[in-house]
Each structure stands twice: as C-alpha cells, then as structure tokens.
Amino acid sequence: MTTIALEMKSPDDFRPKRTDRNDVRVEKIEIPSPSLNHYFFVNVGRPWKWYSRLSWTLSDWQAWVESENVHTFVGYVKNTPFGYIELERQGDSVEIAFFGVLPQFIEHGLGGYLLSEAIRLAWQLKPARVWVHTCTNDHKYALNNYQARGLTIYQKTSELETLPDEEDPIWTTPAYYRSIAEEYLALSHQHAKTI
C-alpha cells in the first residue's frame, strides 16, 4: 500500500468546491461523543479498509474526542447526516485526520464540498499548514479531489501492510462493543443503588 501525504501552506492556495444546494451544511459537534465518531469511522471507512481504530475501546474513543486538539464536524444534507470531519491540531499544523461520506452519499457531489469545508475549518484554527494523508485503498478520485482543492503532495511511502480480511471479526469492532456493554452494566448498577 502507498500512503500519500499532502499539504497546504497558505490559505491563498485553497480552491474550494462550491455547492448551489441550500440544503447542505456542516456543523461542529459541541458535546464530544465517542459513539458518534466510532459510528462514522466504521461506516465511512469500511469501503476504504480503514482499520487503524478497529480495536479501540470506548475509553480510547473518549480520550480522542475529548482532546482539546480534536474537533469533529458533521455534514448534513436535507437535515440528514451524510459525512464527517475530524481535525487534529498538531503543534503549528492541523491534520484533516479523517473525513468522508457515508456510502449512500458517495458520488452525489458531496465529497468535494465536505473536503472544502474541512480545509476552510482547518484554516480557521490558524495553523502554519493544513495536511492530510490518503492511500491507494481510498476512493479512486480521492487524490484528484485533494489536489483540486489546492493540496500538494509532499511525501509518498510504500509498505507492506496486512489488512484484516473480509471475514475478520475485527470489522465489527468487538473491543468497542465489549467496553460499551461494561459501561452500560456499570451504569445500571449505579442506577439500581439510587432507586
């Protein structure tokens, strides 16, 4: 697999994709929600073999979304969530850590708009640069989308990676669901004591 890192060092290089739709918007998540980010990671990422967080527990997700350096946004079309953005401040840079659209919304012109919003929102954090990574497992137009918005390639790395096969139970994120079941059990015990 080849991983490609792209960057933008000035907002002057940004070439946003506009939309004529008036039923599309992006909103910041004000209350961090581990379950929300987990949902989007699993459901947006599955077609592209996102596997880096499949073993995360509820605690891992909670630590991520509650970090002061992480910002999550949800895209809506006709008041229906269609995708998400995760931005992470890293020193003087902001990474578009993850972003994408749910499968039913692919190839409806929303990906370029959502990426444009991700870049615009990243620059609002006043970094020296905005960057993102993609790979050869991504959508066939992903790299073109990044470059069309003004991001330029600064690094390519190739390495052999072993992806979980389609039958691997890790795709159902069992560690997450075990940890959330334990959390629910603990909450039910606390609730029983207060009655």
pLDDT per residue over 132-159, tens digit each? 999 888 888 889 999 999 999 999 998 8
How many other C-beta atoms are found inside a 10 Å radius of the C-beta of residue 46?
Answer: 13
Cα of 184 vs its chain's centroid, Å:
26
Higher pLDDT, 1 or 22: 22
Whole-model pTM above 0.85?
A: yes
Give the pLDDT band of residue 183 (cuts 50, 70, 90): confident
Per-residue confidence (pLDDT) for residue 80, from 0 to 100: 97
Residue carrying structure tokens 């929102």? 121
Q: What domains does the chain contain, in order, with CATH numbers?
A: 2-194 (3.40.630.30)
Identity (one letter) of the amino acid at 39?
Y
How many other C-beta atoms are found inside a 10 Å radius of the C-beta of residue 174?
Answer: 12
pLDDT per residue over 40-54, tens digit each? 999 999 999 899 999
pLDDT per residue over 62-108, tens digit each? 999 999 999 999 999 999 999 999 999 999 999 999 999 999 999 88
Closest CA to 131 of 140, 143, 119, 114: 119
| DSSP symbol at 149 | T
